[in-house]
Chain A
Amino acid sequence: MRRRLRSIGAFWYDFVIGDDWRGAAVIAVVLGATAALVHLAGVNAWWLMPAGVLAALGWSVRRATRPASPARGRSTPH
């Protein structure tokens, strides 16, 4: 039962988040910041989400193509 639940969880994680969880984390933070700016500071921060998404994309592909760092002891970021 536990194994089945774990495999269901793994499927949905892979389906929604995929290879790089950092992209999803950045989008969650950016959306939270946008909502805070709009509702708490009264700033119509329409520019924040596109900027955040493009930055997350750049960061994600940069990490995926970065050469392995011996200090980190990993060959890929995933």
Chain B
Amino acid sequence: MNAVALFLTVFVACVVEAVEALTIVLAAGLTRDWRSTFQGMTVALLVLAVVVAAVGPALILIPLGGLRLVIGALLAVFGLQWLRKAILRASGYKDLHDEAGIYERQVAAARAAETGGRGRVRDWYAFTLSFKGVLLEGLEVVFIAITFGDNQGNLGLAALAAAAAVVTVAGIGIAVRAPLARVPENAMKFAVGIMLTSFGTFWGAEGAGVAWPGGDAALLVIVPVMAAVSLGYAALLRRSRAAALAPAGPGGTGPGARPTPEGAR
């Protein structure tokens, strides 16, 4: 994997997480109290810094084979989650991830909550909302940067890509001060899911002792195959859903009322 591919993969994955964190921060800041929101964000960033300081050096002590096995398995599981949701959204079985909708719900919940301060924090609700959002999404950014960076022996570049993603999204957020609904999030999540799953497959198998035909070049086959099969699954599901929702013929009950199990989530 060359440096450009590493940078772009980590950058795109971290942009998705940063957009989600920004949505929550904006909802808390615009509707409640900016000072408490920034306090929550700052504390979350400090916690993340401690996590990085604790986890980063520990990773170097683990043998590379074992590390690849564990990280590969985690990445593959993580990527499967993303891909599964992206396929269900692309085929209409699950609602598209709607940052604007999430933003509206966060705003409504924030407005409904009572104002209450404690210590130096004027608005505990804004603080907590911002803290949780930044910590959860930040953990995902850290996870992505450390796993990709450590496996490629270029933690600095991965950290730079993650930082660039966060700074880019934060800059856009400051400029527009509104949820970044225009970012085609599902398409981005589809791509990131494919990359995470592909690298997880590659590293996991390598950690289990496999020698890939062609070495690192095997990724040039794994990624397109993962993409093609995932798009195929989405197309198949779209077709079967359209058939299921088609009006029933005369006298037939038809499957038009077939439930869409994940549609409302």
Residue of B139, B229, B258 with highest tally of chain A CB at under 10 A:
B229
What is the size category of the interface that chain B forms with chain A?
Answer: 35 or more
A45 on the B face (CB < 8 A): yes
The 0/1 profile, CB within 8 Å of A marked 1, for residues 64-94 of chain B is: 0000010011101110110111011001010
Q: In the complex, which residues of chain A have a beta carbon less than 8 angstroms from the beta carbon of B91?
A: 65
Q: Is the CB of B259 within 8 A of A31?
A: no
Q: Which of A16, A34, A38, A64 contacts B88 (CB 8 A)?
A: A64
A10 on the B face (CB < 8 A) = no
Q: Are A23 and B204 in contact (CB under 8 A)?
A: no
**Shortest beta-carbon distance, B67 to chain A, in Å?**
14
Segment among B35-43, B146-154, B205-213 that sits at the interface with chain A: B205-213
Residues of A within 8 A of B237 (CB): 61, 65
A interface residues, how many (CB within 8 angstroms):
36
Residue contact B208 to A34, C-beta cutoff 8 Å: yes
Total of A-B residue pairs, C-beta within 8 Å? 125
The reply on A8 being an interface residue by CB < 8 A is: no
Query: Are B261 and A31 interface neighbours, CB within 8 A?
Result: no
Expressed in whole angstroms, the minimum distance between the Cβ of B137 and any Cβ of chain A is: 11
Question: B-side interface residues toward A, CB under 8 Å?
Answer: 69, 72-74, 76-78, 80-81, 83-85, 87-88, 91, 93, 136, 139-140, 197, 200-201, 204-205, 207-213, 218, 222, 225-226, 229-230, 233, 237, 240-241, 255, 258-262
Extra pairs beyond A20-B81, A64-B93 (6, CB < 8 Å) = A20-B84, A34-B209, A39-B209, A53-B197, A61-B84, A64-B88
CB-based closest 7 A-B pairs: A38-B209, A18-B81, A49-B205, A35-B208, A34-B208, A23-B80, A24-B77
Can you report 24 residue pairs joining A to B where beta carbons are below 8 Å apart? A15-B139, A19-B81, A20-B81, A20-B84, A24-B80, A27-B77, A28-B73, A31-B208, A35-B69, A35-B208, A35-B209, A38-B210, A44-B211, A46-B205, A46-B218, A49-B201, A54-B225, A57-B83, A61-B87, A64-B88, A66-B261, A67-B255, A67-B259, A76-B261
